[in-house]
Structure 1
């Protein structure tokens, strides 16, 4: 694996240090990967598999923000 050095504000660093149980490197890696996937949309060079992956990420984000709106069964019926 390659290491990447980033700079963040002191305030953000303090907030991150309050949660040592979280794998921040994984979260940052995922965020970068998702951003790169969105960039591909603008380049017009995205594959069908990448579209599905992006759709799942967007749906999971939506459900994370509004977890009580739908049950798993509602989603299975809706997107089947």
Structure 2
């Protein structure tokens, strides 16, 4: 999984200008962040990566880097299974 592509897909999902998100970006400080975006994020991960994440797992991700690591980790564990 490529970090740049992950960031671009997130920005596209949330209607953000390319370059808005960085790995150091705080998830809850994303422009327009809301409970609806939280749910969209769960659906995004499922749609794009075929990974089911629990709301608790997303909530524990403070930064976009944490989110990327979570998706990467779950993706890797699915490949092994």
Whether the TM-score (by the shorter chain) exceeds 0.5 is no
Query: Relative to total residues, which structure has the larger helix share, 1 or 2?
Result: 1
Q: Which has the higher contact order (CA 8 A, sep 6+)?
A: 2
User: Which protein is bigger by CA-based radius of gyration?
Assistant: 1
TM-score by length of 2: 0.29
